[in-house]
Structure 1
């Protein structure tokens, strides 16, 4: 075979690229099949790698699921933090953070629904991983409320933080069955909710929900 007709050699993936591919495929399979029904054989086949390689990278199916969750936690934090960093007003900080949250969850809706609707199928360590993500988002929300509701007592800030985290999860889960509801729609519902509940402490906020001009 001449050099003109020889097939180009496929570029070898770096370890980081291969790991990212495995996590992408695993999240897809977990979302489609559920954790228990998902098989390492199928994940390996879709990735084009051997099953032993999956075990070499992640140790077990539990380890693979936890790696998916750890990556999502880090990416969610980065997405919401970056979105809020570009805001210039109190209302915009909350708005941008909410939109970023609902956009991210929408992009990972299958795996998110799996975690919320089938917790008993998850490995025991997954419950703590979910709580770690909640604590991460609670920290972001509480910091926003302390700055923009400076007159609110700390117990009120902490209580509303927990309310907001729980409400965001339920609203995001509801959206998985209502794709016509956009991330902006969900963010508007949440900012309305926050403005009504914290109204006495947020008198300087605009009265129109959504981003400021």
Structure 2
């Protein structure tokens, strides 16, 4: 996987051990894990490095998450939940005049990607060494996204009875692959693949793949 196109996120440096609420401390620790995994890969995540980044002791991490596996799983579940929420918002986005629901959804996802690139890199371009649950979540996400696309197209009147596409079911699978590629391009080549360019391509694509 080519991750050279992204800029390495800034890892949170050591901070003073000021008093934090339990929830804020958990968030700080998971942020450090996410940023470290994004910058250097999951193999670089150790309790010592996370503790140093947060300015805390390993004992506090054990108290919050049990062990490294528990910490990684908590972070993965949090990022997956955030991405799922962003996707749901994008899927329900109201299209602007003349825009398809699909293109509106792509626009919403691109905005989410720009707001949290580390989250979407982990889900679309996961580095090796992640917890097994991460890859299980990715399979679930692909299945759910495909089901959503099929349902959304059917709700919009796109089915075998009124479209020129000879195989709508296969086309939905292709649409999912293309959708992932649009996000991948935004993550890896943001200067040349602007939101406007990607959304315009999504609009053209949906009209070609599902003509009426």
TM-score, normalized by length of structure 2? 0.73
Higher helix share: 1
What runs of 5+ residues in structure 1 fail to find an aligned partner? 1-9, 201-213
Judged with a 3 Å threshold, the aligned counterparts in structure 2 of structure 1 residues 39 and 90 are, in CA distance, closer, same or farther, namely farther
| Structure 2 unaligned regions, length at least 5 | 1-16
Deviation at 1:110, TM superposition (A): 4.2
Q: 1:28-177 alignment to 2 at 5 Å?
A: 28-87=35-94, 91-110=99-118, 112-113=120-121, 116-117=124-125, 119-152=127-160, 156-177=167-188
Q: How many residues align?
A: 190
Q: State the Cα distance separating 1:118 from its structure 2 match.
A: 5.2
Give 1:75 shift.
Answer: 1.8
Aligned twin of 1:7: none
**1:102–1:86 CA distance, 2 compared to 1 (3 A):** closer
Structure 1 vs Structure 2 CA RMSD = 2.9
Computing the radius of gyration from Cα coordinates, the structure with the larger value is: 1
Contact conserved, 1:66 with 1:129, CA < 8 A, in 2?
A: no
**5 Å matches for 1:172-191?**
172-180=183-191, 181-191=193-203
TM-score by length of 1: 0.73
| CA–CA separation in structure 1 for the residues paired with 2:133 and 2:170 | 26
Q: CA deviation at 1:83?
A: 3.5
Query: Which consecutive aligned stretches of 4+ in structure 1 deviate over 6 angstroms post-superposition?
Result: none
